[in-house]
Amino acid sequence: MNTSGKLFINNRRLWSWMRASVLSIGAFSIGVYYERKCHLYADVVAPGPTTTTTTLNIGTHGDDVIDSPKPSLHGSGSSNNHMAQISRFGFPSMDSLRSYRNFLLSYDRRNRIANWVLEYVTNDDLNADDYNRKGIEFREDQSFHRYFRSTNQDYKGSGYDRGHLAAAGNYRNNPEHIKETYVLSNIAPQIGRGFNRDKWNDLEKYCRRKIRELKSSSGLWICTGPLYLPQKDAVSGKKFIHYEVIGHNHVSVPTHFFKVLLYPGHNGQWFMECFLMPNQIINDKTSIHSYRVDPEIIERSAGILLFNQIPRHQLLINP
Amino acid sequence: MNTSGKLFINNRRLWSWMRASVLSIGAFSIGVYYERKCHLYADVVAPGPTTTTTTLNIGTHGDDVIDSPKPSLHGSGSSNNHMAQISRFGFPSMDSLRSYRNFLLSYDRRNRIANWVLEYVTNDDLNADDYNRKGIEFREDQSFHRYFRSTNQDYKGSGYDRGHLAAAGNYRNNPEHIKETYVLSNIAPQIGRGFNRDKWNDLEKYCRRKIRELKSSSGLWICTGPLYLPQKDAVSGKKFIHYEVIGHNHVSVPTHFFKVLLYPGHNGQWFMECFLMPNQIINDKTSIHSYRVDPEIIERSAGILLFNQIPRHQLLINP
């Protein structure tokens, strides 16, 4: 045992150090708060991601801990609270994370679209006297290196819509919040008629109906993302993943999308609904409920864990 | 301005708090060091990833900073130094990072194989009286959730070799270090004859030749990983990514692999060599040098940045 080891076996000193640590970590956070206060809401018109410091453990043992580190988010008071609320039940993963005002986003730099987007939407977000999206332009996410960004040019002439992951319609009470959802890292190539403008839109409307049914004190957590599902070759019996890429930057066109809802019931019960839809023209008469799946299917395919800080047996799934 | 704002405008108090912070953050780190010391080298026989705490900034502005955060790695002294050396010129990315004794690994939970593996290999690592890999078994990486792990069963009957990313032959001076490379997160499905056992093996041997040519005080950095490159459909002109997945866990079979070497020359110059090979049978007569490419091709395709803490113009690329 070396000298520093002996030092800490002395319990009194250890406690003295720990006391000092606890006190001053608090002080440090307040310092950060003070420093950030000046900059945080500076760029309202073209909001980029807010500056966020995350401390995470990597490489520890125990599966659930590793695959969903709980970052401690520091930021302005209100922003911090909102991020804590969004991520209350865990992060699906920690890859290239960006925190916006109303959603958290994990980016897939190889595929040039998000891995997932996580939202927390309340009744307040939906209250609007006049809701207008006209004139809002899609813009590149400048926070990613130009090698990994998607651009409007990539989508041009591709035949695909620029489909929202965090839906613009979820933030109709604040034009700035709507604008924020137009960042291209929150956008994925979607079939337009029959999907983005129809059945997928129905699913987004369904989320808002659920929010309106909730008590005003609560909101709805939504996790949305792309999937690249394999198909079996009839002749060889082998499985292949096959998807298009568009534009100069090779933006991936997902084969499917998922959307998972989490919300509290009226008697302390929690509900989770898991939707998986093909990025195809879907017959208008098909019920969105026929696209509900077991969460494990989404989790395995997307490489993420869904709201995994709630034990799965405590959830009513696809009620 | 609120009350806490006023509090900190008082400069003396601010400095008092900041002094306390700085002091005790140090204390906290030492506490972490003490705590970790007991566990770090506990599992030598079946080494898992060492426990590492990483502090990174996410969502800051400025491309290069965001896409290659420099984590401060804490661990035992020697492990810490080695990790610092491996990552001296930056991390290609920060997704699901694992730190092993001789390599750092970023895992792609969706594809069940690594995004990249980063090594630093010296002449010492290659010195061995008797080098023997017989009897070493491939093992699952228990540090990942079972949904995202590849297993030996996935490879069985697939027709693909379990190909090393960090090569076992780079660590022939220590049987435990060889063993460590047999973790399945360091393995990818590779064509056996004509690739893994031939041309790819030639490339690994080329790396070791380069190491032996270096001054004993220096080593070679190697970044290795899979690629999923698109192909143009002759009829539609559209581009598609198409690759096989094997086993129950759908382990991806990359279309290509890359290996990038970084090493110092004799007069202060740095060299980078970038190889990109198709996961196919390659004619034995083809020179490995015909597979050298511009680093940007690998960076864009893999979604990573290579040794980006050295300004690119200061590197002699593919000399």
Of the listed ranges A184-198, A283-297, B187-201, B215-229, the least confidently predicted one is: B215-229
DSSP secondary structure string for all residues of chain B: --HHHHHHHSHHHHHHHHHHHHHHHHHHHHHHHHHHHTTTTS--SS--PPPEEEEEEES-SSHHHHHS-----BSSHHHHHHHHHHTTT--S--TTEEE-SSEEEEEETTTTEEEEEEEEEEHHHH--SS---TT---B--TTS-TTT---HHHHTTSS-EEEESS-GGGGTT-HHHHHHTTBGGGEEEE-IIIIITTHHHHHHHHHHHHHHHS-TT-EEEEEEEEE---EE-TTT--EEEEEEEETTTTEE--SEEEEEEEEE-TTS-EEEEEEEEESS---TTS-GGGGB--HHHHHHHHT---STTS-GGGEEE--
Select the residue from B53, B143, B248 to test the A interface by mutation, using most A Cβ atoms within 10 A. B143
- In this complex, which of A25, A97, A108 lies closest to B28 when CB atoms are compared? A25
Same domain, residue pair B23 and B108? no
Please, which pLDDT band fits residue A50 given cuts at 50, 70 and 90?
A: very low
Same domain, residue pair B1 and B147? no
User: pLDDT digits over B65-102, tens only?
Assistant: 233 333 333 334 555 676 677 767 665 655 688 888 88
How many beta-carbon pairs below 8 A join chains A and B?
226
Q: What is the mean pLDDT of residues A264-277?
A: 91
Same domain, residue pair B20 and B94? no
Nearest CA to CA, how far is B244 from chain A (Å)?
Answer: 4
Same domain, residue pair B33 and B101? no
User: pLDDT digits over B39-48, tens only?
Assistant: 222 222 222 2
- Chain A CB contacts of B91 under 8 Å are none
Of residues B56 and B108, which shows the higher confidence score?
B108
Question: Could B57 and A53 be called an inter-chain contact, meaning their C-beta atoms sit closer than 8 Å?
Answer: yes
Question: Could B240 and A239 be called an inter-chain contact, meaning their C-beta atoms sit closer than 8 Å?
Answer: no
- Chain A CB contacts of B63 under 8 Å are 142-146
Q: What is the mean pLDDT of residues A44-61?
A: 28
In-domain check, residue B47: no
Question: Could A55 and B53 be called an inter-chain contact, meaning their C-beta atoms sit closer than 8 Å?
Answer: yes
- CA of A24: which chain B residue's CA is closest? B21
In-domain check, residue B275: yes
Q: What is the mean pLDDT of residues B195-201?
A: 98
In-domain check, residue A282: yes
**Domain limits for position B128:** 90-317
Same domain, residue pair B231 and B138? yes
In-domain check, residue A23: no
In-domain check, residue A123: yes
Percentage of chain A beyond pLDDT 70 is 71
Please give the pLDDT value at position A128. 82
User: pLDDT digits over B223-242, tens only?
Assistant: 999 999 999 999 999 999 99
User: pLDDT digits over B152-167, tens only?
Assistant: 999 999 999 999 999 9
Q: Does the structure show a pLDDT above 90 at A227?
A: yes
Percentage of chain B beyond pLDDT 90 is 59
Residue from A67, A171, A71 nearest A119 by CA: A171
- Chain B CB contacts of A32 under 8 Å are none
Of the listed ranges A43-52, A66-75, A214-223, A235-244, the least confidently predicted one is: A43-52
Please give the pLDDT value at position B133. 85
Question: Could B66 and A302 be called an inter-chain contact, meaning their C-beta atoms sit closer than 8 Å?
Answer: no
Of residues A79 and A308, which shows the higher confidence score?
A308
- ipTM of this complex: 0.76
Of residues A308 and B61, which shows the higher confidence score?
A308
Please, which pLDDT band fits residue A96 given cuts at 50, 70 and 90?
A: confident
Q: What is the mean pLDDT of chain A?
A: 79
In-domain check, residue B294: yes
Of residues A115 and B20, which shows the higher confidence score?
A115
**Structural domains counted in chain A:** 1
Q: What is the mean pLDDT of residues A171-190?
A: 95
Of residues B176 and B31, which shows the higher confidence score?
B176
- The H or E element that residue A7 is part of is helix A3-9
Please give the pLDDT value at position A94. 58
In-domain check, residue A297: yes
Question: Could B51 and A60 be called an inter-chain contact, meaning their C-beta atoms sit closer than 8 Å?
Answer: yes
Please, which pLDDT band fits residue A279 given cuts at 50, 70 and 90?
A: very high
Please give the pLDDT value at position A216. 79
Nearest CA to CA, how far is A101 from chain B (Å)?
Answer: 12
SS3 state of residue B135? coil
User: pLDDT digits over A10-19, tens only?
Assistant: 555 555 555 5
Q: What is the mean pLDDT of residues B286-315?
A: 94
Nearest CA to CA, how far is B26 from chain A (Å)?
Answer: 8
Nearest CA to CA, how far is B95 from chain A (Å)?
Answer: 5
Residue B196 counted as an annotated binding residue: yes
The CATH number covering residue A104 comes to 3.40.570.10
Of residues A178 and A60, which shows the higher confidence score?
A178
Which residue of the set B74, B82, B164, B256 is catalytic? B164
Contact of A5 with B31, CB cutoff 8 Å: no
- Chain A CB contacts of B146 under 8 Å are 63
- Chain B CB contacts of A108 under 8 Å are 303
Nearest CA to CA, how far is B70 from chain A (Å)?
Answer: 13
User: pLDDT digits over B265-282, tens only?
Assistant: 877 789 999 999 999 999
- CA of B228: which chain A residue's CA is closest? A110
- CA of A300: which chain B residue's CA is closest? B147
Question: Could B146 and A63 be called an inter-chain contact, meaning their C-beta atoms sit closer than 8 Å?
Answer: yes
For A91, B166, B226, B247, B303, the CA distances from B162, given in Å and listed in that order, are 31, 12, 13, 13, 24
Please give the pLDDT value at position A156. 98
Question: Could B8 and A34 be called an inter-chain contact, meaning their C-beta atoms sit closer than 8 Å?
Answer: yes
Please give the pLDDT value at position B218. 87
Please give the pLDDT value at position A82. 67
In-domain check, residue B67: no
- Chain B CB contacts of A158 under 8 Å are none
Please give the pLDDT value at position A49. 29
Of the listed ranges A5-9, B99-103, B213-217, B238-242, the least confidently predicted one is: A5-9
Q: Does the structure show a pLDDT above 50 at A55?
A: no
- Chain B CB contacts of A294 under 8 Å are none
Question: Could B51 and A33 be called an inter-chain contact, meaning their C-beta atoms sit closer than 8 Å?
Answer: no
Question: Could B54 and A58 be called an inter-chain contact, meaning their C-beta atoms sit closer than 8 Å?
Answer: yes
Q: What is the mean pLDDT of chain B?
A: 79
- In this complex, which of B18, B37, B144 lies closest to A31 when CB atoms are compared? B18
Place of tokens 């040019």: A153
- In this complex, which of A8, A55, A61 lies closest to B48 when CB atoms are compared? A61
Percentage of chain A beyond pLDDT 90 is 59
DSSP state, A186?
A: G
Question: Could A245 and B241 be called an inter-chain contact, meaning their C-beta atoms sit closer than 8 Å?
Answer: yes
Which residue of the set A82, A164, A177, A256 is catalytic? A164
- In this complex, which of B17, B48, B300 lies closest to A30 when CB atoms are compared? B17
Q: Does the structure show a pLDDT above 70 at A114?
A: yes
User: pLDDT digits over B237-263, tens only?
Assistant: 999 999 999 999 999 999 999 999 999
Select the residue from B109, B228, B248 to test the A interface by mutation, using most A Cβ atoms within 10 A. B109
Query: Any catalytic annotation for residue B266?
Result: no
Assigned token pair, A95: 């890859």
Q: Does the structure show a pLDDT above 90 at A34?
A: no
